């Protein structure tokens, strides 16, 4: 059972990095540092978008419109942090 919780913790850690990459990548596209017309960049952007958009869109439904500021990644990161700390608090994860 412990290995199942370790796997869940590792999946949460990996998704944590995917969310951070999605945020940084959206900033790079928004500020014009990377161009989405490049095929490699477009493929990478599509992969990150497909991994994060279902979760982000769920929270966007319940969050108020802040005029171009999307706080759904912050909410997702806080939930991941809470779940991982909960697993560690109850000793369900071996470090």
Q: What is the mean pLDDT of residues 32-60?
A: 94
- What range does the domain containing 70 cover? 2-89
Alpha-carbon separation of residue 52 from 17, 35, 91 (angstroms): 11, 20, 29
Is residue 32, in this structure, part of any structural domain at all? yes
Asked whether the predicted pLDDT for residue 1 surpasses 80, the reply is: no
Count of domains observed in the chain = 1
Is residue 27, in this structure, part of any structural domain at all? yes
Is residue 66, in this structure, part of any structural domain at all? yes
Q: What is the mean pLDDT of residues 8-24?
A: 96
Is residue 95, in this structure, part of any structural domain at all? no
| pTM of the predicted protein model | 0.88
Q: What is the mean pLDDT of residues 28-49?
A: 93
Is residue 94, in this structure, part of any structural domain at all? no
> Can you state the angle between helices 2-30 and 72-89, rounded to 10 degrees?
160
Eight-class DSSP state of 65 = P
At 68 the pLDDT is: 83
Distance CA 36, CA 31 (A): 12
Is residue 49, in this structure, part of any structural domain at all? yes
81 CB-near residues (< 8 Å, 6+ apart): 16
Q: Is residue 85 exposed (0-12), middle (13-18) or buried (19+ Cβ within 10 Å)?
A: exposed
């Amino acid at each position: 059972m412990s290995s199942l919780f370790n796997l869940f913790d590792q999946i949460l850690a990996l998704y944590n990095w995917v969310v951070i990459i999605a945020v940084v990548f959206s900033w790079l596209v928004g500020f014009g540092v990377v161009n989405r017309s490049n095929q490699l960049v477009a493929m990478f952007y599509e992969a990150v978008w497909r991994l994060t958009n279902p979760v982000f869109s769920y929270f966007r439904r319940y969050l108020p419109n802040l005029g171009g500021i999307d706080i759904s990644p912050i909410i997702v990161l806080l939930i991941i942090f809470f779940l991982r700390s909960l697993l560690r608090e109850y000793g369900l994860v071996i470090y």
